[in-house]
Amino acid sequence: MKRWGDLSQEAADHLAAGSVLDHAEMAVVVTDRFSNLLYWNPFAEKLFGRQGKSPSRDTSVLSLGIMEKDHPLAIELAKHVLKGGVWEGTFDVRRSDGTIVYVRAQAVPLRPTSGAVTGIVIMAREALRSNEREKDRFGLLERIGERLAGSLYVEETLKRVAEMLVPQFADHCFIELMEGDRLVRRVSQHVQGWTPPSGTWKPVGAEIRYPSGHYADTALRRQETILVEDFATNRSPSPHDGSARLCGEIGMTSAIVAPLLVRGETLGLMYLGLSNLTDRRSPHYDAFDRDFVGAIATRVALAIDNALLFEEERHTAESFQKYLLPRALPQLDGLDIAVRYYPAAPLASHGQGIQTQVGGDWYDVIPLSAGRVGIVIGDVEGRGAKAAAIMGQLRAALRAFAQDDKSPADILARLDEWTRIIATPEQDDNGTDVSVPPIVTCQYLVYDAWSRQLSFANAGHAAPLLLVDGQCVELDIEEVGQPLGVRAKGLHADLVYKEETRTLPPGAALLLYTDGLVDRRPGRDGRMPTEAETLGVLCEKLAKMSGAEVERIADAATVAVPGEIDDDMAILVVRSSDVDLDVESRTFPAQPIMVGEARRMAAEAFASWNVPEERAELACLLVSEVVTNVVLHAATAGVPRRELVVEGPPLPFEESWDMPGFEDEVIGDKEFTLRLRRGEEAVWVEVFDQDLRLPRIRSAGENDEGGRGLYLVDQLARRWGSRPTREGKAVWFEIPTRGR
């Protein structure tokens, strides 16, 4: 006779370790010291969604589906247990079907008889689906709070909520938010592979109206979480017949509705439901589930409210930035343009909480005289509304300065002075002015599409990238001046900013950018790439599409450098025409008889360009007026004669003597140049001479014979002006060839 407790051989076989683990309602996973999988039981396959897959020695425990953000936690777990400790906590696991579950795990060291730790044993279960729900609750709420805290956008927040709750806690999840006095469905999430048929449950975007007496209506009115433990005993009215019919077809068993409340305001409702679409050990919610879902709803409401506030702030800041940047770019001859502006992702560090990453990056394209164009890229140090406001002032000031048609170096010198003027007034305890100007990097370029000449000056900004013939290189800049606002006292700006000139090859593209394009936040390994590395990656990718359209180049540049941008980013891409634009130029003696010759030249050029007759005649009339004005002033602007007083006996005269000023006394050698340009929608006329005096409109008297030339130009031309040149000045005007 066997003693009490003695087992038969068959019973002993069933109690073998492997057999017991095969029947255990808990996942058991064993790894070696290097976290390679050695064993998992059938329940682990089910829990982690790896059915039918056998572990191999070269498979890491991370392959079980532990989400990437929890990988550092898993590594720390392994280190702790291999030292002989015990760890317990919660992981987010993404199954092979894409669903997310929360797994409560305990890890202990694996010790053979020798006593040395040779591996790790992990025991895991689905959180809140065991007899230790009270123990799991606090850890799981903490994990949910962490996931929601990382979301700053409403749609992303709602998506995360649905992923957290379906299928782990519910088969169906609806989230409805208040929009004014309307309740609008924003989320409709269901178990994998099932969607409600059309005409049953309301879709996302639909207005939801629960009838009076419905448990959801009760939750909204009472502002408390309502539990429907068993639909078989529920007598609440249904929103409509289609909804009631579907509930019967899928076998709805239980539901919880929680209001989303924050700071005394109701944001909406969160609805969780169970049905017969899944096989659960307990198809009904209980009071514990109601309290737990109520706690989750509190965190969800706070996350949604934060996201709504952040999106409102971000929208305000982005609108502010958007309206400070050019609303539309002008159509320019011989130049294709594309621009991009991206604020950086939200900043949750730097000691200032969550910030919108709108800053002081800006670009601009400014039409100048005779079809020339000013191109600007700049960056104000710092971020936020203050940087954007400074940017707006600088952009407006630079546009005004550019209209003077001065050299790029002169423009930056004036902008540097303006940067100091707009510095916020501050004083120390002694009343001394200690205002600190903002630090601004800027590059200003002037491009002439007819000559392809590019003139520029740089104030501490990154050099543009030149894309031509399958290559991408930095534009060669010999003089990089100091950023605006940091010039040392006593050092004149003219000594800091230097003008340089290059000629762009036909079809070449320039990419101007702010540092947000190449600055990236540290990667997951904590390493921050250097600017040289990111610039190398950018050039490598752009070189492959140097001949592409500017829009494609701009799009490619924004995604060329991997990683999340650390600052706002402005990009401006321009491409020169690969064909020569029409231009005629001729130099004449500054004599009255040459007025007719200049007009004849203009008429012939306009005729060959097929300029409409009435526009050509108008342009020829204004050519006569401007040339006449130049000839008259050339005749009256001779250099004053100087007397040479020689004391003592007369000196012998030698023709080789170089007497300064004598060559200027010859009146007849003055000349002017007439240059005509044709664009897509206008013609430009420029008259160059050696007189430094800029013209101005006179108020001619009633009986005066002259004084009306520039008045006619002002009234009949679309635009006109004058600019200084190295030899004198240029007077120009523009006549449209299309429209008015």
- What pLDDT sits at residue 564? 74
Q: What distance in Å separates the CA atoms of residue 458 and residue 440, rounded to the nearest whole number?
A: 11
- What pLDDT sits at residue 522? 67
Number of Cβ within 10 Å of residue 499's Cβ equals 18
- What pLDDT sits at residue 351? 36
Closest CA to 104 of 146, 156, 47: 47
Question: Which of 96-108 are b and which e, b meaning 16 or more Cβ less than 10 Å from the residue's Cβ?
Answer: eeebbbbbbbebb
- What pLDDT sits at residue 167? 83
Q: What distance in Å separates the CA atoms of residue 688 and residue 671, rounded to the nearest whole number?
A: 9
310 touches 346 (CB < 8 A): yes
- What pLDDT sits at residue 116? 84
Q: What's the burial of 470, exposed, middle or buried (CB within 10 Å: 0-12/13-18/19+)?
A: exposed
For residue 429 the two structure tokens come to 């305890």
Number of Cβ within 10 Å of residue 416's Cβ equals 23
In degrees, to the nearest 5, what angle opens at C-alpha 462 toward C-alphas 381 and 378?
45
Q: What is the mean pLDDT of each run of 10 residues along the chain (740 residues)?
A: 48 58 83 85 82 68 79 83 83 78 84 82 75 60 74 82 84 92 92 88 92 92 91 86 89 93 90 90 85 89 85 73 78 91 61 55 92 94 79 91 91 91 69 74 95 94 93 91 79 78 94 88 67 87 90 92 80 93 93 92 95 93 91 64 48 44 50 94 93 75 59 89 88 84
> Which residues does 279 contact at the CB level (< 8 Å), separation at least 6?
none
353 touches 550 (CB < 8 A): no
Closest CA to 190 of 288, 290, 272, 75: 272
204 touches 292 (CB < 8 A): no
Direct distance between the N- and C-terminal alpha carbons of the chain, in angstroms, rounded to an integer: 119
DSSP SS3 for 345: strand
- What pLDDT sits at residue 643? 45
Closest CA to 47 of 108, 101, 106, 91: 101
Closest CA to 164 of 268, 72, 270: 270
Residue 23 dihedral angles phi and psi, to the nearest 5° = -100, 0
> Which residues does 708 contact at the CB level (< 8 Å), separation at least 6?
700
